[in-house]
Amino acid sequence: MTSEILAKTPLHALHLELGARMVPFAGYEMPVQYPLGVMKEHLHTREAAGLFDVSHMGQILLRGAGAAKALESLVPVDIIDLPVGQQRYAMFTDDNGGILDDLMVANLGDDTLFLVVNAACKHQDLMHLQQHIANQCQIESRFDRALLALQGPKAVDVLTRLAPEVAKMTFMQFQAVRLLGVDCYVSRSGYTGEDGFEISIPAAQAETLARSLLAEPEVEAIGLGARDSLRLEAGLCLYGHDMSEATTPIEASLLWAISKARRADGARPGGFPGAERIFAQQREGVSRKRVGLLPQERTPVREGAELVNADGESIGQVCSGGFGPSLGAPLALGYVQSSHMAVGSDVWAVVRGKRVAMKVSKTPFVEQRYYRG
C-alpha cells in the first residue's frame, strides 16, 4: 500500500503551531479545524473575521493583447469588456457543455488577466489553457504564490489598518495593494457569503502576513470544515460535488454566470465549447437541476444520499449536505428531476435506509452580505 505524498502550503507550520487538525484535501495537507471547533469557527466568521488558507488554489496569469479574446473562446463569460480592476466568475466548459472547472478572472490592466482556479483542477486547467490558447497569449502559472482569505463583517476594519485604500473597494473589485511592504493582489470577494477579501501574496511573505492578521483581536484561524458550512449556507457551488463535467451550467443552476453578451441573443453569442447544447437547454429546459433542500427534521443529509418521491421512486441525489450553524438546521444541495424542481416541492432523502422528509428551497439559505457600496 502506497500512501499519497501530500503537498503543503506555505502556512503548513503555522497551522500545526495553532493546533489544527490536518486532513488530505485536493492533494494537500490542509487544516479542517482548529481547537475552537467548526461550529465556533463558522459563527466567528459570520460575526467578526476569519482567516482561511486557500494557498492550494491555482493562480495563473494570461498576458498579451489577445488574452481576453483567447480566454473567451474557453468560457461563456464576457472577458473582453471586463473593466480593469474588476473580477468575474467564470467556468471552463467542454464540447458537451459540461463544466471542467469554475474560476475567477480579474483584469489587471496592461493586457493582463489574473485567474484563480480550483486546487484539484489547477494542473489540468493549465494544460487546457496551454493546449487551446498558448498561440494567442502568454500563459504563466503562479502556483508559487500563496492565497489568504479574510472573511466576515469585520474583515474590512482589519485590512484597512494595513492598507486604508481597501475600504473603498466594492464586491468583485481587484487591485494591487502593498501589505506590510509586500506587493499583493487583493480582491473584495470570497466564498462565505460574507464581505471579505482574498489576498494573493508571494509564498515567502505569506506567514508574516497571516501572523499579522491573526494578531488582530477580530481574527481567528478558520479551517475547511467551517469553510464548507459557510459556503453551503450561502448556496455556493463546490466543484467536483455540486457541478462537474457531468453537469452543464443550466443543470447546475448557473445560468446567471453566462454573460448576456455571450448568450444566443447576445452581442458575441457562443464561441465557447458546448455552446449549442447549453443554448438548447436554455431554450427547452432540462430534465434535472440543482436545487436547495431543507430537511424537515434534525437529521443531517450528506452528499450521495438518494432522493425519492412520495412513492419511493428515485428522482435525484444530494450533492452537498450538512448542518448550518447560522441557519440552526441541516441543509443540502441536490439534483432533482424537473417534476420536483419548484420551490416548496416535497422530496425525501434516504439516510441509512430511512426516509427523511425534505422541501425544495430557495438559495442562499442565509442572506449574502457582500459589500456593494
Binding-site entries for substrate: 198
DSSP secondary structure code for residue 143 in this structure: T
| Sign of the CA dihedral with 247 first, then 253, 257, and 262 last | positive
* 288: number of Cβ within 10 Å: 18
Residues of each annotated binding site: 198
Task: In whole angstroms, give the CA distance from residue 218 to residue 45.
Answer: 9
* 310: number of Cβ within 10 Å: 9
Burial track 150-166 (b if 16+ CB lie within 10 A, e otherwise) = bbbbbbbebbeebbeeb
Q: Categorise residue 59: left if φ over 0, alpha if ψ from -120 to 50, beta otherwise.
A: beta
* 227: number of Cβ within 10 Å: 27
Q: Dig out the grid coordinates for 307 from the structure.
A: 432522493
Contact (CB, 8 A) for 220 and 99: no
Q: What are phi and psi of 370, to 5 degrees?
A: -65, 150
| Sign of the CA dihedral with 220 first, then 221, 223, and 228 last | positive
